[in-house]
Chain A
Amino acid sequence: MLVKLSVNGEKHEANVEPRLLLVHMIREVLRLTGTHIGCDTTHCGACTILVDGQPVKSCTMFAVQAQGKQLMTVEGLEQNGKLHPLQEGFMAEHGLQCGYCTPGMLMTSYAFLKKHPKPSEDDIRWAISGNLCRCTGYVNIVKAVQHAAAAISQGGA
């Protein structure tokens, strides 16, 4: 089946089996390997991307369902050589260790901050509760999101 979609503002099309999972289309057909896979049961969120602005688990969607949609992956965060404040925040606050969960965390937080520019710590913890991290204990991920929220409110993005 022919699927046409846009990823990070670029148009793509590919002929795929209907059963192709969206995450495999992104990683293996489009070769955007920043989006990861960490489970089979829709629990880890390593595969989180935005579909029409909403963060979703791309391992639990078929590529054909993304027909005509606007997708955004971690590779789309940096704009014109400028890192997104979340990316800066994750580096500044040591919000990542092995980096495997990081793209998913970034995408979830990106959508979250758009809706909740001034979140509390608890808001952030609930917002990222569909994304597992085994390395950081979440403390610094929360700080990284706060860091980004502050930067954005000061006109950082």
Chain B
Amino acid sequence: MALRTSPEVGGMGHSIKRKEDPRFIRGKGTYVDDVQLPGMLYLDIVRSPHAHAKIVKIDAAKAMAVPGVLAVITGQDLAKYNLHWMPTLMSDTQMVLPVEKVMYQAQEVAAVLATSRYAAADGAAAVEVQYDPLPVVVDPKKALEPGAPVLRTDKKDKKDNHIWHWEWGDKGATDRAFGEAAVTVKEDIYLPRIHVASIETCGCVAHFDRVNDKLTVWMTTQAPHAIRTVFALVAGHVGLAEHKIRIISPDIGGGFGGKVPVYPGYVIAVAASVLTGKPVKWIEDRMENLQADSFARDYHITAELAAKKDGTLTALRIKTLADHGYTDAAANPSKFPAGLFHVCTGSYDLKAAHVEVDGAYTNKPPGGIAYRCSFRVTEAVHTIERMVDLMAHQLNIDPADFRMKNFVKPEQFPYKSALGWEYDSGNYGGALKKAMDTIGYADLRREQAEKRKRGQLMGIGISSFTEIVGAGPSKHFDILGLKMFDSCEIRVHPTGKAIARFGTKSQGQGHETTYAQILAEELGIPAQDIQVEEGDTDTAPYGLGTYASRSTPVAGAAAAVAARKVRDKARKIAAYLLEVAEDDLVWEPGKFSVKGAPSKSKTIQDIAFAAYTNHPQGMEAGLEAVSYYDPPNLTYPFGSYICVVDIDSGTGEVKVRRFVAIDDCGNIINPMIVQGQVHGGLTMGLAPALYEEISYDEIGNVRGGSFIDYLVPTAVETPKWETGHTVTPSPHHPLGAKGVGESATVGAPAAIANAVVDALWYLGVRHIDIPITPAKVWKLLREKGVTE
């Protein structure tokens, strides 16, 4: 995209420095735990050591004797206000504090309120709880077997652990295509539970002001407005009306999806503040964060792919078992219980597809949130990219050639996928070609062949993913009925500076900078002169928040539309000032000038001043606008990643030697920020591919529940990412942009897994589930007779 503004204005395409950085590099950010109010109390939570157990007795006597402890709050206390259960985003129910039984290890059992963090911790350690263990259901397959203990005994008519069945696509056509197929491949793919593990954990400071009857909550949330509404809906009956609730989402230390849900700790803190009239702080520690906050993935997938003899793909069939823990608290658009998993035909022109998903209850924490991903897209991409690779290898066709052959072609856009999505734009072959050229694909294949002769294990893996982001059009997308629009409100001040507020919330993505750049592009006001604010529900316009890469596609579009409304009014004022007809004016960023007489012009700053001092008769003063943008479609970013791995046949270690990522997110607002998002996303793609997993033993003990065993990669494990991009604008987005925050997380794991299988295919290895640990690789190697 050609630059339309100068670097001083800093519109789209400029790598301007981030406006949020000056406070962060000085240690002057304000994160939730930095909020300290006079008289503030602290909350600490007692958690269950059992995965499934009746609560026989909670004895608070010793805890109450600890100096500084003011109260021990239990489910019984909350039940008095009917606050012991709360609804989930998927219309299920979740305990705030249990009354009868606990459903997973580390579940909240009681909360201790004290005058200091240390006293609260001492109090929590002193609470004595007597449990009566119940049979534990860990495996979702066993959960659905007849005779399995029914977990949700709170639901009167529930006779099993099946939550829902959901299917999509044309089953008949798909089955027929499989019947006619020359070649089919089938694989079981497990995408384990993982955790976003943002470096800041979750927490809040709840402050109920008894004089004004107003609740203010500083909290780690990606969706402050929706949270306000949820609080009002859940606690309306105890007198919390929506206009008396203010949610402030201050600086957030990473979100990635983990800060979308309402966790019990928030609710308890709010309840404690309302009851005491004092500010109450709750900050979870890392182990609580990993063990009790919402997880991502946990999909047991069986996929089949069909092709003709010549390698033309024809159909995809998927059956999936989704482990939701003890309640379905997934963060999905309400209509789609499996999120956008049905984008699983990926970048390929498949004529038929059918997907089935079944949800199951188990004795694990709830979740089904994103891991830097748009509603289960990683699950979809990983499946199709693994399957396509499997088919290519099966047919003995180079995986790059095979993809090229089966891609949706540029001329097919807008493309209607077999599962009903309308892809807006793409050039999949272009991105793959660029990735191959960058990495030197042909040379690598030669090197691989030579190494193989010497018994050295090297693999090359490709992932050509298509993302689906920017939820979403109101026709299909809502959360608890709230349509998934987003918003921008702009006010241009008399001196030509501006403030803009949004319904989203940055957690590191740099909204203060990129939104300012969009406005700079549209209005010609320098980005430096535009203050961007988000996260305070008392001031910002309503919006659904930041997750699923929706900020640029939705709120970014709202910014453009609102700016254009401002410009429309500015045009009227300019016409009045220049005494010409509106049609006689031409706009270039920052000024209107008279057609044919360029010296006669008014800058946006002139116009802003006039809007308050000299506006036309009959026009309202001021220069402001607001837009609630309802996107006409989703956007479909894509990319091609190629990864080279070397495998140590003695230890099973996989080393990523090179990784080239070519992304296409349409028009780019700030190249520096986009590249940064890709670097981070790639690292969060590497992590589950090789390192991270949360698993459970037979009795429901969590494994990987601290940073000792939850292996967030350091700078040493992380490869030196090589990035690049192609640009295929979105035709329906006002700026042609698509969203990029998550593409790399979605696309990278398959490239790595494909590379490992590519290295081992000749030994007869067909598939490895992620995370691909040295121990797993070693086992496969020894099974195939390879040793050092």
Contact = CB atoms under 8 A, between A and B. Distances in A.
A and B touch in the complex (CB under 8 A): yes
Interface of A: 17, 19-20, 24, 27-28, 31-41, 43-44, 46, 73-75, 77-78, 83, 87, 90-92, 94, 96-103, 106, 121, 124-126, 128-142
Contacts of A135: 254, 508, 676, 680
B256 A134 contact: yes
B199 A132 contact: yes
Contacts of B254: 97-98, 100, 134-135
B684 interface: yes
Contact of B676 (A34, A97, A130): A97
Contacts of B714: 128-132, 138
Contacts of A20: 118
B253 interface: yes
20 contacts: A27-B34, A36-B31, A43-B708, A44-B707, A74-B25, A74-B26, A75-B27, A77-B25, A83-B25, A90-B21, A94-B672, A99-B508, A100-B31, A103-B27, A121-B720, A131-B715, A134-B198, A134-B684, A134-B712, A135-B680
B676 A125 contact: no
B706 A41 contact: yes
Contacts of A96: 21, 24-25
Interface centre among A39, A87, A125, A141 (most CB of B within 10 A): A39
B22 A97 contact: no
A102 B25 contact: yes
Contact of A142 (B22, B198, B712, B715): B715
B773 interface: no
A60 to B, nearest CB: 13
A133 B682 contact: no
Interface in B157-200: 196-200
Contacts of B721: 137, 139
A46 B707 CA distance: 13
B716 A126 contact: yes
A36 B672 contact: no
A129 B718 CA distance: 10
Contacts of B519: none
Contacts of B200: 36, 38, 98, 100
A139 B686 CA distance: 14
A101 B253 CA distance: 8
Interface in B112-144: 117-118
B782 interface: no
A87 B25 contact: yes
Interface of B: 17-18, 20-31, 33-34, 36, 117-118, 196-201, 251-254, 256, 285-287, 507-510, 672-673, 675-684, 706-708, 712, 714-716, 718, 720-721
A134 B25 contact: no
A39 B256 CA distance: 18
A129 B27 contact: no
Contacts of B684: 134
A99 B679 contact: no
Interface centre among B26, B27, B256 (most CB of A within 10 A): B27
Contacts of B201: 38
Contact of B252 (A19, A43, A91, A98): A98
Nearest to A130: B714
B487 to A, nearest CB: 23
A77 B22 CA distance: 13
A149 to B, nearest CB: 16
B716 A101 contact: no
A13 to B, nearest CB: 20
A64 B677 CA distance: 41
A30 B198 CA distance: 26
Contact of A28 (B36, B286, B508): B36
A108 B516 CA distance: 32
A139 B679 contact: yes
Nearest to A106: B25
A101 to B, nearest CB: 5
Contact of A73 (B27, B199, B507, B673): B27
B197 A134 contact: yes
A44 B199 contact: yes
Given A19-B118, A40-B287, A137-B682, A94 B715 contact: no
A136 B682 CA distance: 9
A140 B197 CA distance: 20
A100 B200 CA distance: 7
B286 A39 contact: yes
Contacts of B510: 97
Contact of B253 (A74, A98, A106, A128): A98
Contacts of B287: 40-41
Contact of B286 (A24, A41, A92, A101): A41
Nearest to A86: B25
B727 to A, nearest CB: 20
A124 B712 CA distance: 18
Contact of A75 (B26, B118, B672): B26
Contacts of A101: 199, 253
Contact of A102 (B24, B34, B509, B678): B24
A100 B199 contact: yes
B125 to A, nearest CB: 13
B35 to A, nearest CB: 9
Nearest to B23: A99
A78 B676 contact: no
Contacts of A139: 679, 720-721
A40 B720 contact: no
A137 to B, nearest CB: 3
Contact of A38 (B27, B28, B199): B199
A139 B719 CA distance: 9
A126 B714 CA distance: 9
Contact of B33 (A37, A91, A94): A37
A44 B252 CA distance: 17
Contacts of A19: 118
The 5 closest A-B pairs by CB, nearest first: A34-B27, A98-B508, A100-B253, A99-B24, A137-B679
